[in-house]
């Protein structure tokens, strides 16, 4: 079964609920760029797809960086002057500044304030903050709670470790006919944040499950990696493999109810860019397309000038543009099964375009071939039907000179990729067209 | 005399009437893609221009096709149950499905219906239908007449032949200074249809007559060929000659009162495309320009990817877009002398641009030459006249670096092709400019 | 001190007054394309900047031209039939047709009229007219004065000489780090006309003074030349030096209160074009940009196809588009100190962009470098600040592949050239970026 037929069999609403279930299961885990939270996350994913889990030791140089020490945390709280626990990591892992070093001391409120982070504009929400590369400790809480604190001595306790260990990531390769690869990547370093990026993890997991059911032209490489340092580590360890990557997408923020937004690859007019835009334009739904910028998710690394891979990012509301971003409000209420299912269907539609697209060669390029004697053309002539499949066949024949892909032809003909692709299939069956192997 | 001066001598209204007269003479003949109708048509044209008539035998392979058997018809009718002739080829050759095989039998109305063609949306008109590549017989009639038929046995008679013979076409070469050719093509396969394409036949015939009166830079090749199979046949037999074709136009539907419409060549930005568009833009009349598509007239063959000739199509209302298209209403009332004359004048204007256009080389490219001492420039300086011929000379000198044609310069300067071309002529006379021979 | 820091120190209003003072000093002199008026003008400029003055002998061939005879004038007048001087060169040098040959005779009004020039549409103004290349004599006067003349015999007297001599021009080279040059040119051939072009002379003079106070990357070549023949002469004598000219501007009409207008170089997308347009767009003031045309000032010669230098022209209201153009109304009331200062500031801003622009190479092109450990990045992560200098650094790193200049990056990032350039400087300091020497 190819991807086109698999897509026709899928029942979106059931899948949306399944994706939501996976997100719910992963939500409580305290992830970071290293440590047992990532391991536990990948262990759960392995119950669904045959991930390979890689461990890269602390200190390994990766381009301008090195793999950091591994962080783990067991317990963390603040007790007020009365000895009451007013903040507890047990309640939400967002309460701890991610990568906090261990601490256990009593401090006056004034001194404590330097270690407390809030969102003054959203006084009920707890922010998400990290300090990966500067040793520090801290707590995150709501502005309202901070305002209610009274003067006095507070006891702070963080039972964490920051030691040599490993950076952990998951990888799944689904082989296709070709060594050429499609890269699908998501980041697995965020703790209890649902849209950013449990939704992306769920999406790539379900893509994997579907792609395994198909036979594909491309080989698919799916990465579940910590953001930034994970992408850098993977690229450093797999530099030569990147030559095979033809197309790629970074998946994140795919569960909120906003409309889809595509951020182009650095190249701006790569095939992945045109494929995604064609699918979005054909959807009949509102969408946005934005140019590449060097700020965002791991497309920053994949599109650094030394790699310049054809990797874009397809999200719903982009990072930083929904108010709940990087706060306790990015929770299980923000993501919705219908949005998850729509995102997955769109990713599958894009991959289906990539699978079917390509340049082809008209085997009979001088004048039109006689479609009629091959059963490809209406038999009573003089009739002005210029629509549909016959016209699509004429377009495919006329432009299949090796310079125009089916996506190009679709755009120039003003016909859908589906009808152009179907016409190409019919022409291939009769020997009038061949896929360009060059 | 060159084309520019010939154009100034022409009296359009007289020519429109002459063209209409030729169309009226050709209208009654039953043409098809082969047979005596084409021969009779070309015989009449030969009384006006020195056409060469070529006969290509049935069965000759031409690319993916072969030359079909020759079709001729003498008589055809249907008699109703009372023995009354209700449809007769004598009245209109459209009544017979073009390429009908011979038949003589009696059939019930129900069985007959499968062989009858009408236009339900235009119940008074008789459609034009063909069956070149599937052996069949049939009759075309108005929907109103079909509705009036009563049950009973009908006698059908078609006295036609479909035998080995020839495909016939006409060709006229008008030599110019250069071996480089301009192709002008029309189709001669339609029976009693005035706009599509007796108007095209008349236009190319009158173009031929005028071009013969001029001395031209280009060699002109004029083709009077059956649609599709005629173009394919000509291309197959003249494949090497196509290398000389620099520009071309397919003429059809040039007699209706609609405005002119130019369909670009497959290349889209060929010199012919820019020349036609310049003439249309300069006309002050409404016009349309549409991109190439692989549906239409014989530009489909000339622009197939194995040839990709710079051939566009200049029509009035395009095929299929006027209601009378391919019906008995495409008759001598639809075409108008004034429209025919305007089409001819536009074709001549386009050819005139092609004749005069080209890239030139400024012989004095470093700084401006001293136009004043050559009598090319107003003598009292300091005067802010930046219009007209002097400015045109400065533009031609500035951009005649071999990369810009006069049409390019006209566009960039925002000056008419005529003033740019006149400026170039004056510069050539003084030796400041030379035609680029490269 | 570099140009950026010099610009910060400049006090525009004082400079505008100084420029106006220089224009007032030069205004009374009778300049032409040759002669003592140009010499006197350059002598005054030499009191401010160390100009080299060049004298090129009459008759020297310069491309299609030759250096003309030198023109000088001492006295000129017309006496009416009563013997009253009604027109006197003493009152305004515009009264004499520039390059008039000597004459002393009595003529009837009717005959005199052929030698009188007026502006009928502006009946109070005296036009500026020349006759460099056709021997003639004449007077310019207001239409009102002409209308008041009565019949009778008039005595005309012009005490001028037109003899072998020299064409005079000034040149100043301000060396920079590179042999590559920026050309700044103004014409010095107009008599008492303030905007066209004493304003341009003042602007280039003050540019020279400022550039001498800086250390620059580029070498600056400043030309004070007669229009057309002066540019042709300079190009003929310095043909090989033109290879070093990377960018250039022709300065004229920079003192009127209209807004700035940039006329692009013939190339249209040269770095000078983009630099000027960036500065104008960033100014917040209204401005115009027009395409190159081969009519105007000496960009006509610098952009002739044999040179095609990257030279544009930055003016305020362009020549011929202010009513006072080439008339006695282009006087000291038309030009304004504030406009002069604004023009100078804009020229300096453009040169500053040229000085700082260039392509650079990311020394760490694979993945992002770790900005944090170099003190270039905020330390608490997870924070959505995507604005400002950090983002500019990411853009510079991402696009510094040798193909994109800082101006390109500024445009693509939608960030000002200043912030992009500052980001580049910081990256250069940490060794992450190097100027592309290729």
The pLDDT, as a whole number, for residue B387 is 56
Instruction: Round to whole Å and give the CA distance between A117 and A109.
Output: 13
pTM of the model: 0.92
CB pair distance less than 8 Å for A367 and B301: yes
CB pair distance less than 8 Å for A367 and B235: yes
CB pair distance less than 8 Å for A326 and C364: no
Which CATH number describes the domain made up of C72-163?
3.50.30.90
Low-confidence ranges of chain B (pLDDT < 50): 379-380, 382-386
Chain A residue with minimum CA distance to C384: A320
Subunits next to A (3 or more Cβ pairs <8 Å) are B, C
Fold (topology level) of A70-163:
Glucose Oxidase; domain 1 (3.50.30)
Task: Give the residue among B357, B339, B47, B342 at the shortest CA–CA distance from B208.
Answer: B47
- Note the pLDDT tens digit of each residue in C337-380: 999 999 999 999 999 999 999 999 999 999 999 998 898 876 44
Residue A429: phi and psi, rounded to 5, are -60, -35
Which CATH number describes the domain made up of B3-67+166-356?
3.40.630.10
CB pair distance less than 8 Å for C134 and B379: yes
Residue C81 three-state SS: coil
Average pLDDT for A205-210: 98
The pLDDT, as a whole number, for residue B380 is 46
Question: How many beta carbons lie within 10 A of that of residue C168, not counting itself?
Answer: 25
Residue in A128, A231, A236 closest to C382 by CB: A128
The pLDDT, as a whole number, for residue A268 is 97
CB pair distance less than 8 Å for C367 and A295: no
- Chain B residues whose CB is inside 8 A of the C65 CB are 367, 370
Does C174 score more than 70 pLDDT?
yes
Does C385 score more than 50 pLDDT?
no
The pLDDT, as a whole number, for residue C378 is 63
- Chain A residues whose CB is inside 8 A of the B304 CB are 365-368, 397-398
The pLDDT, as a whole number, for residue C125 is 98
CB pair distance less than 8 Å for A131 and C366: no
Chain C residue with minimum CA distance to A318: C384
Residue in B134, B305, B326 closest to A382 by CB: B326
Instruction: Round to whole Å and give the CA distance between A224 and A171.
Output: 6
Among chain A, residues having any CB pair with chain C shorter than 8 Å are 62-65, 98, 117, 127-134, 228, 231-232, 235-236, 239, 266, 291, 293-295, 300-301, 303-308, 319-320, 325-326
Does A386 score more than 50 pLDDT?
no
CB pair distance less than 8 Å for A294 and C395: yes
Q: Where are the domains of chain A?
A: 3-67+166-356, 70-163, 359-435
Does A13 score more than 90 pLDDT?
no
Chain B residue with minimum CA distance to A403: B305
Residue in A366, A384, A395 closest to B304 by CB: A366
Does A345 score more than 50 pLDDT?
yes
- Chain C residues whose CB is inside 8 A of the A266 CB are 398
Considering only A95-99, A288-292, C67-71, C433-437, which range has the smallest mean pLDDT?
A: C433-437
Q: Is C228 within 8 Å of C298 (Cβ atoms)?
A: yes
The pLDDT, as a whole number, for residue A379 is 44
Does A387 score more than 60 pLDDT?
no
Residue in B365, B372, B381 closest to C305 by CB: B365
- Chain C residues whose CB is inside 8 A of the B413 CB are 293
CB pair distance less than 8 Å for C398 and A303: yes
The minimum CA-CA distance between C78 and chain B, rounded to whole Å, is: 21
Tell me which H or E stretch contains B234: helix B229-237
Residue in C366, C373, C382 closest to A130 by CB: C382
Model confidence at A218, in pLDDT bands (50, 70, 90)? very high
pLDDT, chain C, mean: 96
Instruction: Round to whole Å and give the CA distance between C256 and C53.
Output: 29
- Chain B residues whose CB is inside 8 A of the C306 CB are 362, 365-367
Q: Concatenate the DSSP letters of all residues of C4-65 into one string.
A: HHHHHH--HHHHHHHHHHHHHHHTTS---SSSHHHHHHHHHHHTTS--EEEEEETT-EETTE
Q: Is C157 within 8 Å of C77 (Cβ atoms)?
A: yes
- Chain A residues whose CB is inside 8 A of the B98 CB are 382
In this structure, what DSSP letter does residue B195 have? Answer: I
Residues in chain C: 438
The minimum CA-CA distance between C409 and chain A, rounded to whole Å, is: 11
- Note the pLDDT tens digit of each residue in C51-81: 999 999 999 999 999 999 999 999 999 999 9
The minimum CA-CA distance between A58 and chain C, rounded to whole Å, is: 16
CB pair distance less than 8 Å for B386 and C239: no
Strands (E), B89-231: 103-108, 116-117, 139-140, 153-163, 166-174, 181-187, 219-225
**Architecture field, domain B359-435:** Orthogonal Bundle (1.10)
Chain B residue with minimum CA distance to A414: B293
- Note the pLDDT tens digit of each residue in A18-35: 999 999 999 999 999 999
Q: Is C222 within 8 Å of C169 (Cβ atoms)?
A: no
The pLDDT, as a whole number, for residue C384 is 43
Average pLDDT for C381-397: 74
Average pLDDT for C116-127: 98
- Note the pLDDT tens digit of each residue in A233-272: 999 999 999 999 999 999 999 999 999 999 999 999 999 9
CB pair distance less than 8 Å for B305 and A394: no
- Note the pLDDT tens digit of each residue in C274-317: 999 999 999 999 999 999 999 999 999 999 999 999 999 999 99
Residue in C370, C372, C398 closest to A305 by CB: C398
Residue B172 three-state SS: strand
Instruction: Round to whole Å and give the CA distance between B267 and B180.
Output: 19
- Note the pLDDT tens digit of each residue in A299-330: 999 999 999 999 999 999 999 999 999 999 99
Strands (E), B175-252: 181-187, 219-225, 245-251
- Chain C residues whose CB is inside 8 A of the A309 CB are none
Interface pTM (ipTM) of the complex? Answer: 0.94
The minimum CA-CA distance between B402 and chain A, rounded to whole Å, is: 28
- Note the pLDDT tens digit of each residue in B113-151: 999 999 999 999 999 999 999 999 999 999 999 999 999
Q: Is C38 within 8 Å of C189 (Cβ atoms)?
A: yes
The minimum CA-CA distance between A170 and chain B, rounded to whole Å, is: 48
The pLDDT, as a whole number, for residue B376 is 84
Subunits next to B (3 or more Cβ pairs <8 Å) are A, C
The pLDDT, as a whole number, for residue C388 is 80
């Amino acid at each position: 079964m190819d991807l086109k037929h698999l897509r026709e069999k899928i029942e979106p609403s059931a899948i949306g609920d399944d994706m939501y279930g996976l997100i719910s299961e992963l939500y409580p885990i305290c992830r970071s760029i290293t440590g047992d939270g990532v391991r536990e996350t990948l262990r759960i994913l392995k119950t669904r797809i045959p991930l390979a889990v890689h461990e890269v030791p602390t200190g390994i140089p990766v381009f301008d960086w090195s793999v950091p020490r591994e962080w783990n945390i067991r317990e963390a709280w603040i007790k007020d002057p009365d000895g009451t626990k007013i903040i507890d990591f047990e309640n939400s892992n967002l309460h701890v500044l991610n990568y906090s070093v261990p601490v256990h001391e009593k401090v006056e409120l004034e001194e404590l304030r330097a270690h407390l982070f809030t969102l003054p504009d959203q006084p009920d929400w707890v922010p998400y903050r990290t300090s990966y590369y500067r040793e520090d400790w801290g707590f995150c809480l709501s502005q309202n709670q901070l305002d209610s604190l009274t003067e006095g001595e507070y006891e702070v306790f963080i039972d964490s470790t920051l030691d040599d260990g490993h950076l952990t990531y998951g990888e799944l390769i689904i082989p296709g006919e070709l060594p050429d690869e499609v890269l699908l990547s998501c980041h697995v370093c965020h703790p209890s944040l649902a849209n950013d990026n449990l939704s992306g993890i769920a999406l790539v997991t379900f893509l994997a499950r579907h792609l395994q059911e198909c036979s594909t032209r491309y080989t698919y490489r799916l990465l579940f990696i910590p953001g930034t340092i994970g992408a850098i580590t993977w690229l450093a360890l797999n530099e030569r493999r990147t030559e095979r990557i033809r197309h790629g997408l970074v998946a994140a923020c795919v569960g909120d109810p906003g409309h889809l937004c595509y951020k182009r690859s650095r190249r701006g007019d790569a095939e992945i860019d045109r494929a995604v835009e064609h699918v979005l334009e054909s959807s009949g739904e509102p969408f946005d397309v934005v140019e590449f910028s060097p700020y965002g998710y791991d497309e920053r690394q994949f599109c650094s000038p030394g790699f310049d891979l054809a990797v874009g990012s397809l999200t719903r509301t982009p990072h930083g543009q929904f108010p709940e971003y990087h706060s306790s409000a990015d929770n299980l209420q923000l993501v919705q099964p219908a949005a998850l299912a729509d995102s997955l269907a769109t990713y599958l539609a894009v991959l289906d375009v990539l699978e079917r697209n390509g340049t082809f060669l008209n085997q009979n390029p001088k004048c039109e071939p006689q479609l009629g004697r091959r059963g490809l053309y209406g038999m009573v002539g003089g009739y002005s039907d210029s629509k549909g499949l016959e016209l699509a066949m004429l377009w495919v024949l006329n432009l299949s000179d090796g310079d125009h892909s089916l996506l190009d032809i679709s755009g120039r003909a003003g016909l859908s990729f589906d009808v152009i692709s179907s016409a190409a299939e019919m022409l291939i069956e009769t020997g009038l067209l061949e896929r360009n192997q060059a």
